[in-house]
Structures are given as C-alpha cells and as structure tokens.
C-alpha cells in the first residue's frame, strides 16, 4: 500500500506538469534518490523539478500530510518564507527600468524618516553608544542586505506561543520603526541578512506607486504570470490541502509540526500583514511560473513580458553589492559576476529553494516543509548532476511534442 501511494503521488505530479506543454525527460533521477528516505519515514514528502532547455523532470514523492496519506502535488500551497524576497526584488527592478526610481537614490527621498540614521557602536549596562551615520542609505542597500538593519524589527517580534513573529505589521510602520532604531553598521560597509531591509524596499514601492506593495505585486507580476495560488492570505480551501510542516532528524521518522514561531495559525486572518521579507504563500506550480520568467530573462512561459532582458541580467542575475561583500542582487542570491555557469535564485526557511541559469536555460526547484537538516540533499545533488549532464535527443523531443523545424 505504501508503494501504491508513492506511485500515485508521482503520477499526479507528472500529469500536472503535462498540462503546461513541458517536454517530459522520461527520467526519474530525483525519485530514485528520494524514495528510500520516504519509505523510511525520514522525508515526509517533496517536489523536485529539473529543467534543461525545454526538457523537464518533475517528481512529487511522498505526502503533503503523512497521517492522512495525502499525496504531495504541484498545486498544494506552502510557506515559501524568504523566497518572498525575490518577488520584492522584481517589483523594485520594474520601477528601475521604468525610470521611476534609481537603485542609488537615498531611501530618504521616498521615506523622509530615514534622513537621520544612528549606528550602534556598543552597549554596556543597558546603555547604547551611537554615532550618526556618515553613509547615505540607498535603495540598493536595503535590497541586498548591506543597509545595516537587523533580521526583524520590534514591530514583528512577539511572545505569542513561544515567541517569533506575530504576523507582522503594515510595511510603512515597519519602515518607520526601523528608521527610528539603531542600525548595526555604516550602510554599505558590511552585510546582515535582513527581512527588515526588504520590507523597507517594499515601502518605497508603496510611495512611488501609490499602491499597497502586495497589490502592486499582484497587478504587475502575479496576475500577468497566472499565479493564482500565490498570496499572503491562502484561502481555507487551499489550506485544507497545504503541505504540512515536519521536524526532521537524520535517521529518524519525521514528526508533525502544527506551526512555527514565525508564521502562526490561523494563517489568513486579520493578524497577518503582507511582508516583502517573508510570508508569501505559493505552490510549486506557481513558483515554476515565476522562476521560469527569471530564467527566460523577463518573459513568462505564457509569453507575457514582466521585465526587459537587460533588467534581469544587470540587477537580478548579477550582484548589486560591492565585490568584496559577496554576491547578492535584489532579494536574490546572485554571483558577484554573472557567467555561463552561474545560477541565481533564493531559498526559504523551511527547506524550499529554486535557482536558474539563464545562459543554459536551466532550473532547479525543490519544495519541502521541514525544520532541521536535510540528509537527502547530497543525493538530490547527484540526481541533478545526472540530469544536467545528460544529452537529450532534441529531434525525438520535438517529434514527441508535435513541433516541426
């Protein structure tokens, strides 16, 4: 019976991908690598997609809900957490290419409360020592984690059920509180991974567009790409089929986790605010639409152009940081210098990630909802190596999909 459900999960997933017209690779590298972990109960369920220039291996294996034996599917919603940052990066990039903002504009041009920033030098006996920031905080800095802001600001911290994130706060409120709090270093001189900085970038979008950031995102990115499952407030119907969370430990069965301290149930009521740093729910089906748009240099699989080619190449696929500070662009991990073998993308707190290479038209997507290590990663990497090193017969593929030269 266990093997039947595993087969069912894979079959459902593959049938979902066929609807997009993707050419099936006829390989099962990921499933072969993951099946032992699922059978032992270590891995609850996962979605893996390898894509190479029109050829795709799609694997759904295991369960979205282990107890109910509900197979994991491409259209199941899940928390993508920090993968939300790339969506903010795209909205900023869109405004840059339209000439409505510059990455080197001072944030204070749009949010006056950032005119005066104070840098924390130290703290002793509860007394903080500060100095007035000498460097100008720019839009570029808040989007690439060089602004000096902490991971989260006080507006989002809570002791509700064990601490963490209370569900957030309005983006302009987050920005105002961040502006009135000491930053950790001179802007542009170091890096600290920060949801707060990304939220500040989203607040800039709100000022420039006159719209709530999430509404601008929906109008300019989500709706044009047909991303119907992606939103900050999943419906009750969607949540009945969500990918549930699990705690995992190497060599032990995964344990169900009701919720985490950062995103607490209920997931769609009035305590939840849109955050550009994390919090956007999605499905694997929708994620593919977003990341394939990036891989295709701004054009979705449905033919809709979201960004210009040069915009993606210049400020999303390549780092916007000073070279000595490592690679990161606008809400996306990216190389210091883009090249033929370089990938860009992002991951999320509960194990998800997606990366693309626009030069080779390659994509790797991974979806799980787990807390803890992922001992299967090395095997998935080997599976990916097998897929991407394989030469697919394009003539047979074209005949299979009914294409003619």
Structure confidence by residue, pLDDT tens digits, 263-279: 777 787 777 899 999 99
How many Å separate Cα 168 from the centre of its chain?
Answer: 18
pTM of the model: 0.91
396 vs 213: which has the higher pLDDT: 213
Cβ neighbors of 264 (< 8 A, separation 6 or more) are 160, 161, 164, 165, 166, 167
Question: CA angle 356-396-29, nearest 5°?
Answer: 50
Instruction: Report, as an integer, the average pLDDT of 323-329.
Output: 97
pLDDT at 405: 30
Q: Give CB contacts under 8 A, 24+ apart, made by 67-70.
A: 67/256, 69/5, 70/241
With 90 as the cut, is the pLDDT of residue 177 above it?
yes
- Across-strand partners of 371? 247
With 90 as the cut, is the pLDDT of residue 22 above it?
no
Confidence of residue 68 (pLDDT cuts 50, 70, 90): very high
Q: What residue ranges do the domains of the chain occupy?
A: 101-210
404 vs 32: which has the higher pLDDT: 32
Q: Which of 158-167, 174-183, 210-219, 329-338 has the lowest mean pLDDT?
A: 158-167
Cβ neighbors of 35 (< 8 A, separation 6 or more) are 6, 61
What is the biggest distance separating any 2 CA atoms in the chain, rounded to whole angstroms? 75
With 60 as the cut, is the pLDDT of residue 163 above it?
no
Q: What share of the chain has pLDDT > 90, as a percent?
A: 80
Instruction: Report, as an integer, the average pLDDT of 219-225.
Output: 98
Query: Smallest Cα–Cα separation from 188: which of 244, 140, 249?
Result: 140
pLDDT at 399: 41
Query: Rounded CA gap, 175 and 168, in Å?
Result: 12
Question: Residue 379: what are its φ and ψ, rounded to 5°?
Answer: -75, -35
Query: Smallest Cα–Cα separation from 27: which of 49, 53, 7?
Result: 49
Pairing state of beta strands 55-65 and 45-52?
Answer: antiparallel
340-375 pLDDT, tens per residue? 999 999 999 999 999 999 999 999 999 999 999 899
Residue 161, token pair as written in the block: 């059920």
How many residues are listed for the chain in this entry?
405
Average of per-residue pLDDT values in the chain: 90
- Across-strand partners of 353? 347, 366
Q: Which of 12-26, 308-322, 328-342 has the lowest mean pLDDT?
A: 12-26
DSSP assignment of 357-384: ETTTTEEEEEE--EES--TTHHHHHHHH
pLDDT at 385: 98
Look at the alpha carbons of 83, 290, 243, 375 in this order and tell me if their dihedral is positive or negative: negative
40-55 pLDDT, tens per residue? 999 999 999 999 999 9
């Amino acid at each position: 019976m266990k093997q039947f459900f595993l087969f069912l999960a894979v079959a459902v997933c593959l049938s979902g991908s066929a609807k997009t017209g993707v050419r099936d690779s006829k390989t099962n590298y990921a499933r072969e690598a993951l099946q032992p972990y699922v059978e032992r109960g270590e891995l609850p369920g996962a979605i893996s997609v390898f894509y190479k220039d029109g050829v795709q291996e799609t694997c759904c294996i295991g369960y979205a809900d282990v107890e109910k034996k509900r197979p994991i599917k491409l259209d199941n919603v899940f928390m993508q957490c920090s993968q939300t940052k790339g969506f903010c990066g795209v909205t900023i990039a869109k405004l840059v290419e339209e000439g409505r903002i510059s990455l080197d504009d001072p944030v204070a041009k749009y949010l006056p409360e950032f005119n005066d920033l104070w840098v924390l030098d130290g703290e002793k006996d509860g007394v903080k020592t500060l100095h007035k920031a000498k460097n100008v905080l720019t839009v570029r800095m808040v989007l690439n984690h060089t602004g000096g802001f902490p991971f989260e600001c006080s507006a989002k911290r809570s002791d509700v059920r064990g601490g963490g994130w209370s569900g957030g706060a309005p983006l302009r409120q987050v920005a105002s509180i961040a502006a009135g709090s000491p930053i950790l270093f001179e802007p542009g001189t170091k890096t600290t991974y920060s949801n707060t900085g990304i939220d500040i970038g989203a607040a800039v979008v709100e000022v420039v567009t006159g719209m709530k950031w999430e509404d601008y995102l929906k109008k300019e990115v989500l709706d044009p790409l047909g991303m119907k499952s992606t939103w900050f407030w999943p419906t009750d119907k969607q949540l009945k089929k969500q990918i549930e969370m699990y705690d995992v430990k190497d060599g032990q069965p995964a344990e169900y986790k009701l919720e985490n301290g950062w995103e607490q149930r209920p997931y769609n009521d009035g305590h939840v605010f849109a955050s550009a740093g994390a919090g956007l729910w999605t499905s694997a089906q929708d994620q593919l639409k977003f990341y394939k748009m990036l891989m295709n240099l701004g054009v979705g699989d449905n033919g809709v152009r979201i960004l210009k080619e040069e915009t993606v190449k210049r400020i999303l696929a390549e780092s916007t940081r000073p070279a000595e500070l490592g690679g990161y662009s606008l809400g996306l991990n990216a190389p210091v210098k883009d090249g033929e073998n370089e990938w860009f993308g992002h991951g999320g707190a509960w194990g998800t990630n997606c990366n693309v290479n626009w030069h080779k038209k390659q994509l790797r997507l991974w979806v799980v909802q787990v807390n803890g290590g992922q001992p299967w990663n090395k095997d998935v990497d080997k599976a990916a190596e097998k897929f991407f090193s394989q030469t697919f017969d394009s003539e047979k593929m074209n005949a299979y999909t009914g294409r003619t030269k």
